[in-house]
Amino acid sequence: MHEAMKTITLRDETYHSLLVLKEGGDSFSDVIDRLINRKNRDIREYAGALRDSTVLDDLHMFTKKMRSSGRARI
């Protein structure tokens, strides 16, 4: 037995964003459900996620450069 279905209207860019997020045999409902469930997660689940990444180091260096260039203009 199928659940009730609804038709919705999406902007083209929204449709393409959802399309990119589809995995395997996902339906658009599966993608939307996954996004809704992700939104309600506890931020603590992400603690340490960037531990082995250089992203924070790169961001720190970029911020340092921007602050230096801002002081030079004063």
Q: Given a cut of 90, is residue 3 above it in pLDDT?
A: no
57 falls within a domain: yes
Name residues whose C-beta falls within 8 Å of residue 70's C-beta, 6 or more positions apart in sequence: none
27 falls within a domain: yes
16 falls within a domain: yes
pLDDT at 1: 55
Q: What does the block give as tokens for 55? A: 């992203």
Count structural domains, the chain. 1
18 falls within a domain: yes
Domain that holds residue 57: 12-42+49-72
SS3 category, 23: coil
| Of 13-22, 47-56, 65-74, minimum mean pLDDT range | 65-74
Tens of pLDDT along 9-44? 999 999 999 999 999 999 999 999 988 887 667 778
